[in-house]
A and B are shown apart, each in its own frame.
Chain A
Amino acid sequence: MKNLKITSVLIILAMISGFNVSAQLTGLQIIEKVYNRPTGNDQSSNLTMTLINAQGKQRVRKLTQYLTDNGTLEKKIMFFTAPADVKGTSFMNWSYSNGKPDDQWIYLPALKKIKRISSDSKGDYFMGSDFTYDDLGDRHPSQDTHKLLREETVNGVKCYVVQSIPKDEDYMYSKTITWINKATFIGVKKEFYDEDGDLLKIMHVNSSKKINGIIVVTKITMQNKQKNHKTIMSLSNVKINSGIPETKFTERMMMRGI
């Protein structure tokens, strides 16, 4: 009887504490859950990047990309397949988790030469799109101060709304606000505010797909509100954990092509 009592108290306590854990999930904890969500060890896909300017004109670029991540080093190689005049152009990026600057290479088939690119700015826009390299990569949760603002339903999806303010005052954004799906911990929407605190960009996740048990975002739109410019990235033919060999990520492969 006593045991039962204790057990039931423990159960109740556990339930209460359990409730407390989910109710008290902090902004940092939410962002950490997003950051630690499994993404697989490697991924390959066809990427279509559509840039739309203020006049509604489009530039469409198609690439095939391969990515591998061993936890400390993320390697990425991309081959342009369209438009025809840049076909065969390839780009490789090695990103280190220890804060060392990325290594980047570019191969121009018309020049038949590989060039290393060293750039001092991670804020550079990715291939003329509205995404910066930073927007595409995973930003470590410790770089920002996070705060859970509220919970909200967006398009029928229950979301956490988290505000993140960078610790580095010179960072290109003064803050970001992210809507995160409470069930899957996938970002649904994100707002980026510029140095003056004005809304700069809005990112929307348009679709995602479960592949090999891992949820992959397959279509994403970034809209620059100040320049009225938009980029849509969509992935097709996505393969996860297909065992891409390390040898894929070499200068030789860049020149050889897909």
Chain B
Amino acid sequence: MSKILIKLLKSPWVIIGATIVITIMFFFVMKDNSRMETDLNKYMPAANPAFIYSDKAEQIFGIKDGIIVAVENQDGIFNTETLDTLKQLTKALQKMKQINKDDVTSLYTADNIVGGEDGLDVKRFYKRVPKTQAKLDTLRKNVRSNEMVYGRMVSENEKVAIVVAEIGDDVFSQEFYYEILDLAKRFQTDKIKIHVAGRPIVEGEMALLGPKDMKKMVPIVILVIALVLFLILRSVKSTLLTLGVVFFSTIWAFGLMALLKIPIYAVSTMIPVMLIAIGVAYSVHLYNHLQLFINQNPEATKNEAVVDMIKAMWKPVMMAAVTTAVGFISLLTSQVYPIKYFGLFTAFGVAVAWILSVIFIPAGIMAFGLPKRRQVKERNDNDSFLYKFADKVLKRKSLTIIITAVIVVLSIFGMQKIWINSSFLDKFEKDSDIVMTDKFINENFGGTTMLNLILDAGKNPDAFKNPKLLSLTDEMQKKVVKDLKVVGNSFSLADFIDRMNKVMHADNDKFNTIPDSKNMIAQYLLLYEMSGDPENLNKVVNYDYTKLNVTFQLKSDNSKAINSALAILKTYEKDFKKYGVTMNYAGSGYKGLVFTDLILEGQVMSLILSLLIVVLLLALMFKSFKAGLLGSVPIVITALISFGIMGFLNIPLNTTTALLSSIAVGIGIDYAVHFIEQYKNYAKETNHNMLLTAKKTMSNSGRAIIYNAIVVIVGFMVLLFSVFPPNRELGALVSLNMFTSFAGTLTILLVLLSITKMYSKKDKEKK
């Protein structure tokens, strides 16, 4: 291997040229074919049973996410001006080409079915905007006495009314979002405020804001990294070559993605982050060795220096790259395609970064000359900080072990507090418009998050005309709404029957219940079909009355809220089972919950898998199982601390933070590989003087590791200034992982190497 690499040194320009040509090719492929995937449904594993059921239910009942446009007037909504705004807004939304006319509902579109002693009156609440006080008062009275709209379409304080526009999954785009916002703004007056909320808005904002923020932040990150790299390498050439490796590998990864027609998912935007953190390391280690060689051999030619660098470093760099790539490839076990792709293309990028590090950097040095010899004071090795540090660490082995143990225990304790969050809204700034609007609507209405419970009676037609089943459903709905503050409202076929029963008994509230005759229910349903809009029924019950859609409105989309509702619903499982009815769930809120669980489950699985593989690979490379186990210690500690701190700081696990454990493996293992490799070499060189070996390793490899860590930590600290909270968390956690990886390698790994007498004379003799 090193022979090939050395041979390649003879034609540096060919290599540089080829690299640049390939990069340009990939760049154009990327430019022409890259596509950002914003449809969140495309992220879900369609073959998962939970999703299959949910998709089917969504189709049967037409369950769609709704954009909520709220009309607020502090003087109350029952005046001509506000009611007219509500009407015009409803009509404007109905006219938008992305929205089906029938999918827009408001007080203006709603039917009011009112019962009298001998009659039944089906009327719109208003068609022409009422102008006289008497008419306004009648409207107010009608709204107050209709549970189907009061508190649902009009807030109970009568200051807010909403228009809900349900849209298909594939409709949302940036233009559409701006169109809606424009529309809202047009209707705004001094007195009337318009708010826009709803899951499509939140999802859309997130899909747009995250990558947009990344686009802004990544150049700054790179700039800062370049600056720190320069301060460490003291050479513009070396800095540029190092950045080139990272930059090219990123383009190749995205170019390949575009070539294979795979769209860019939100998680894919983390690939550059990963490649920067990992790719920089190879060059830093190479240059560190080169610098050391030049310092020790001031007379050496550039050829000699580069050949020495390749000979000494090709193996540890390869081992580091292979172990890292394998760590990412283990993500292929995930059920979620975006994550699979993330793992695959990051692994590819890592491989590219490695190859370029050992081909392109030497070629660059051959072409542009060696970096300047660093003007360092003649080092008295024994006085150097790292020598002393190694000395101190080895003299206080038990202290290192105790501190590590305490940190591990604390981390494990902290991990207990970790919670999973599938919320989209929690990803936004607490005082952002989107969060404030959501809060406002949740305060005035049932809730912006929908949880759909699907009651399924299998192949038992007319099951849901059974009064007992409907009563049970009614009871369950009431209990969930009463017990949970976070559940504001619920809606099902039972509500229709309650309402019809009341209407047919002259609006007597005593009859706001489910009647106990099946025929009565069937006849009410028929009557509703004849007098109301049958489409409304199709949203709550399927054609042969075997499936019921019960909707719960939640005031929060976080996992704790959804799970608390699910917990109460599950207590009814037994009761429904008696009637042969099973419970299933549907809708975007539920799918988000399942999706997050899937990602995390996959993440934990692949973390364990990659750890096992890495241990095996290390054992194979160092031909020692012990080395494999020791090498994995910094990774395990890094992962534990990462999760522990998330627990203590109440940072929930979500898709972004979960993926970060991959970085712990990717980086942690590199440090350990370099450290062990050098430790092994110096042991041989010093004839198994273990203290000197430790000192030399610390001075050489340790320095590279510290430099590498500093570069990436400082670079990622920049993300702390991001406007998108998940990107801030990302920056903080990457920095943290880098820090613990390097600290763990330089302390506990060294101590363990020493205690277990790796590569000492005894160790050698045993073999």
Contacts and interface: CB of A to CB of B under 8 A. Distances in A.
Interface of A: 53, 55, 57-59, 80, 83, 85-86, 89, 91, 106, 108-111, 113-121, 124-128, 194-196, 226-227
Contact of A89 (B115, B523, B542): B523
Given A106-B120, A108-B504, A125 B519 contact: no
Interface stretch (B77-85, B121-129, B393-401, B656-664): B121-129
A117 B504 CA distance: 11
Contacts of A53: 538, 543
Interface residues on B, range: 35 or more
Contacts of A58: 543
Nearest to A108: B523
Contacts of A120: 122-124, 127
B526 A109 contact: no
B208 to A, nearest CB: 29
Contacts of A116: 118-120
Given A106-B530, A195-B101, 14 more contacts: A57-B543, A85-B465, A85-B518, A85-B522, A89-B526, A91-B530, A108-B527, A109-B523, A114-B118, A115-B115, A118-B121, A125-B533, A126-B530, A226-B100
21 contacts: A53-B543, A85-B465, A85-B522, A108-B504, A108-B524, A110-B519, A115-B119, A115-B504, A116-B118, A116-B119, A117-B120, A117-B531, A119-B531, A120-B123, A120-B127, A124-B122, A128-B529, A128-B530, A128-B534, A128-B537, A195-B101
A86 B522 contact: yes
B543 A194 contact: no
Contacts of B542: 57
Contact of A86 (B102, B123, B519, B543): B519
Contacts of B462: 85
B523 A111 contact: yes
B6 interface: no
A250 to B, nearest CB: 15
Interface of A is mostly: mixed
B381 interface: no
Nearest to B121: A118
B60 interface: yes
Given A108-B523, A110-B520, A128-B534, A121 B124 contact: yes
Contacts of A111: 504, 520, 523
A55 B543 CA distance: 9
B123 A110 contact: no
A26 B6 CA distance: 94
B519 A109 contact: yes
A89 B525 CA distance: 12
Contacts of A226: 100
A117 B534 CA distance: 16
B95 interface: yes
A117 B520 contact: no
B117 to A, nearest CB: 9
A126 B504 CA distance: 20
B544 interface: yes
B120 A115 contact: yes
A239 B531 CA distance: 29
Contacts of B115: 115
A118 B120 CA distance: 6
Interface in B654-679: none
A113 B543 contact: no
Given A57-B542, A57-B543, A116-B120, A86 B526 contact: yes
